Amino acid sequence: MIRLRRTSRLEAYLDVYDVAAETGVHPEFIRRLVRLGLLDPVEAREDERLLFEVSAVPLVRKIIRLRRDLGLNYAGIGVVLELMERIESLEAKIRELEGDLFE
């Protein structure tokens, strides 16, 4: 079960320990992904507790699969994630243009 933290802006976030627990990894692995630029925290508090959006959980799971199943190094994972994001963006644009075409 995902426990959500509330910030002063009343938005739900997960801390590094929650993301680690949900993905079955050690919190230090999550911190490593942040240092490598593969995972962006929403906020880093003074006590060094990182806060993440709930969408970080599926992203970490995707990173784990890319590393485990394809044997990619972290630089390769970054390239694949960026390409996947660009593909999703292009597919969304195609759907938008198709919608405009058939209206």
DSSP 19-75: HHHHHTS-HHHHHHHHHTTSS--SEE-TTS-EEE-TTHHHHHHHHHHHHHHH---HH
Sign, Cα dihedral of 20, 51, 67, 58: positive
Please write the tens of the pLDDT for every residue from 44-82.
766 567 899 999 999 999 999 999 999 999 999 999 999
Please write the tens of the pLDDT for every residue from 32-50.
999 999 999 997 766 567 8
Q: Is 25 exposed, middle or buried (0-12, 13-18, 19+ CB in 10 A)?
A: middle
What structural domains and CATH numbers belong to the chain? 5-101 (1.10.1660.10)
What's residue 1's pLDDT? 46
Sign, Cα dihedral of 55, 29, 67, 38: positive
